[in-house]
Amino acid sequence: MEKITTIVLDIAKHVFQVHGINGAGATVSRRKLRRDDVVGFFKALPPCLIGIEACATGHHWARVLMALGHEVRLMPASYVKP
């Protein structure tokens, strides 16, 4: 598998969507994760940039992922396209 440099994490109540891209901007990974599997998934990855929509639980997940060594950027909902 190619090295993931950036991940966009769509957080929801039970199932999270992970979209990983490499340095060239090509999609490397698309996965659905249950809430219980998120920390384990990100522990296995080398540090990378993670984008999360700024919402109530977005700040919690940002702190959790930063503690694992990742760089997290929260973005306003108006910047996130469906």
The CA dihedral of 7, 71, 75, 54, to the nearest 10 degrees, is: 100
CA–CA gap between residue 28 and residue 49 (Å, rounded): 14
Sequence ranges of the domains in the chain: 1-55
State whether CATH 3.40.220.10 applies to domain 1-55: no
Q: Residue 81 — pLDDT band, cuts 50, 70, 90?
A: low
Q: Residue 55 — pLDDT band, cuts 50, 70, 90?
A: confident
What Rg value do the Cα atoms of the chain yield, rounded? 12
Q: What is the pLDDT of residue 78?
A: 82
CA–CA gap between residue 69 and residue 15 (Å, rounded): 23
